[in-house]
Amino acid sequence: MVHYVTVATCALNQWALDFQGNYERIRESIVQAKNGGARLRIGPELEIPGYGCQDHFLESDTTLHSWEVLARLLQDRSLDGVLIDTGMPVLHCNCRYNCRVVILDGKIVLIRPKMHLANDGNYRELRWFAGWARPATVEDFVLPRFIADITGQREVPFGDALINTEDSCIGIELCEELFTPQSPHIAMSLDGAEIILNSSGSHHELRKLRRRIELIREATLKCGGIYLYANQKGCDGDRVYYDGSAMVLANGEILAVGQQFSIGDVEVTLATVDLGGVRAFRAGMSSRSMQASRSEMSYPRVMAAISLSAQHAHFDFSVHPTRPMTASLHSPAEEISLGPACWLWDYLRRSSLGGFFLPLSGGIDSCATAVIVYSMCRLVVEACQRGDTQVLADVRRMCGEDSEYVPERAQDLAARIFCTSYMGTANSTSETRTRARNLAAAIGSHHIDVDMDTVVSAIVGLFALVTGQTPRYAVHGGTSAENLALQNIQARLRMLLSYLFAALVPWAMCGSSGKSLLVLGSANVDEALRGYFTKYDCSSADLNPIGSISKADLRGFIEYARDHMQLEVLGGFLDAVPSAELVPFSPGYVQSDEDEMGMTYNELGVYGRLRKIKKCGPYSMFAQLLHVWSQAQLTPRQIGDKVKRFFFYYAVNRHKMTTLTPAYHAEAYSPDDNRFDLRQFLYNARWTWQFRQIDDAVGRLEKRDNVVIEE
């Protein structure tokens, strides 16, 4: 028998502690779901306070204000007729839980606490919440008095239960629970749950969305049923970007997927699914039926007085099921062009500042940052052309324009909110200066060309006046200490000048109405891992959209942008040899990043993934690379030397991670010291024991190889 149900899953651009804005976005999503014919709506994890509250979850105010927002939803009779699944922290028996609160027609149906908490990578849920440790168990929860006055309920069920509607059964699992070996949806499905709800706070990483989709697809393919996945979207005040992609799947097929990247605040994804198809799919799997009949997990049920489908006598023949689709996944280059751009837009509009300032060196890293800002402008202009009222309001406020202003081109918007500057010295080349100027012209940024030799000379002259010694570059006979100090002076002065121009260029151009600019940095993840940058140089900024992206992926992004954004000027950046341009050029020496680092960017990517993702220390990394790099005709000694060189520089430069500019999180091997990669910053850089084990292993291998050769 056909039982069509229309369901809605949401991606909301929530902001930590923005209770008013979060409430408005939640309500708008429910209204859109209801207008779309849905009788079931789910939203992101902790959508009422915002997922990224972090230690604010420890404050009683956060829980109180979450109840107050829930009270407004409960009192709103225009939301009746929809089973609403929302999220907030709840204190039960003096334990704080990350909860889903299911409401219907002004009453609370169930409070479902999260059982398996995310506590790795960027996640620290165990710091703020307890996990519910009683599967298939509920207790009575005494409601706050002002909530009880609204609902007429004194107690409601709290715990792990299924929700019976008049025509189906619903189970709930939260975010991380999908990724665990014993996911709740398995037992729930075997006990009769036909619809599984998953509300998530999952952030973007390059190439990660495919894994999410496959996990949900496999869940519904093995268990049958309908799976609704909701996720937060946007920047809610931290380094991560939540990449939406709310989706509905049924019986192993994808029915609907929302946008992964967008600058809109509310996105509702609808699908119409046949419950009869779920029942037929499951009944046709004899092994599944046998397991279900023998399942020892019996969930308590709570009743929700709603029918998700129309009665057969009132069947609407104009309603059609959603047809299966194939999910379209972005390439890594497309992800880089969209994710950091959306993150920057959210940060900019919510900071109420006037735009961005970028030191544009003529190299590929600052080039990538500039193109990401240009991509942001493209997205914003497209949204304005579509008539997105929120984006239009933000643009007009930022540009100080009236209600009629609509930007027509990305370059027009960039000219008003993006300032770039080439800060050259005697060590800079005409090639980098020209590349920077041409790129600025192509993307429309307000560009400033600065010669800063006088400032550098003043600093060096002050040192000479105080000490009576004038430092020299190595090519002029100076020591390594002199050479490094002279390079660092230039790098750090660029940071000082960046903040000066970011603060005063708007004032110089617009007077008192000019708003300060956010300074952007552009050091990539490989340079951070190696420590190949100057502490407090122009990598020190307010934000860094590429700080967690590898050099290889950045090159792929620039190639993509050249071809898809009509930026032919980018070809020159791809052909150039990466160079800091901090020392004088001579016929016998040209400064090259990879030569100075003593390793290639591709090698750094390998080291980074082994160190962080594969959890390798020096010896384990050496052992792994023996099997990989020996095919490249490298000897064990050469491999050992490479590994030791990497760990030496990693150790001596780890202190730089403590001052790393907040960067968009995009890569699983990011060395970000703030929360993602927690390690000490003072190391014994000699790694005495570890390196000795590598040397001993190399000796044994060389001795074995010599024996083989003699034989």
Amino acid letter for position 278:
V
Catalytic one among 10, 29, 34, 45? 45
Question: Residue 8: is it exposed, middle or buried by C-beta count within 10 angstroms (0-12/13-18/19+)?
Answer: buried
Amino acid at 233: K
- The phi and psi torsions of 549 (rounded to 5 degrees) equal -125, 135
Q: Which of 175, 377, 384, 419 is catalytic?
A: 175
What is the DSSP annotation of 198-267?
EEE-PBP-TT-HHHHHHHHHHHHHHH-SEEEEEEEEE-SSSS--EE---EEEETTEEEEE--SS-S-SEE
Angle between helix axes 389-399 and 332-351 (nearest 10 degrees) is: 60
Structure tokens at 334: 């497309």
Asked whether the beta carbons of 102 and 163 are under 8 A apart, the reply is yes
Told to judge if 367 belongs to the known catalytic residues of this protein, a careful annotator would answer no
Give the alpha-carbon dihedral of 372, 378, 384, 389, to 10 degrees.
-20
User: Does residue 387 sit in helix, strand or coil?
Assistant: coil
By the 8 A CB rule, do 113 and 43 touch?
no
Are the beta carbons of 33 and 267 closer than 8 angstroms?
Answer: no
- Report the C-alpha gap between 275 and 283 in whole angstroms: 12
SS3 279: helix
CB within 8 A of 657, min separation 6: which ones? 528, 671, 672, 673, 677, 681
* Residue 114 annotated in active site: yes
The one catalytic residue in 114, 233, 612, 656 is 114
Spatial distance between the Cα atoms of 575 and 107, rounded to a whole number of angstroms: 64
Q: Are the C-beta atoms of residues 260 and 209 closer than 8 Å to each other?
A: yes
Q: What is the DSSP letter of 493?
A: H
Beta bridge partner(s), residue 156: 141
- 45 in catalytic set: yes
Q: Are the C-beta atoms of residues 451 and 387 closer than 8 Å to each other?
A: no
- Looking up tokens 């730089």 gives 656
For residue 378 the two structure tokens come to 């493209």
Please name which of 524, 580, 527 lies closest in space to residue 555, comparing C-alpha atoms: 524
From CA 315, how far away is CA 167, in angstroms rounded?
A: 14
Question: Known catalytic residue: 538?
Answer: no
Catalytic residue selected from 29, 66, 202, 361:
361
How far apart CA 490 and CA 496 sit, in angstroms, is 10
Strands 253-257 and 95-104: unpaired
Q: Which residues of 74-101 are buried (b: 16+ CB within 10 A; e: fewer)?
A: beeeebeebbbbbbbbbebeeebbbbbb
Q: How far is CA 60 from CA 91, 156, 361, 603, in A?
A: 9, 21, 48, 48
CB neighbours of 260 closer than 8 A, spacing ≥ 6?
204, 209, 243, 244, 245, 330, 335, 338
Distances (CA, A) of 191 to 3, 93, 105, 304, 679: 20, 28, 27, 18, 44
Residues carrying an active site annotation:
45, 114, 175, 361
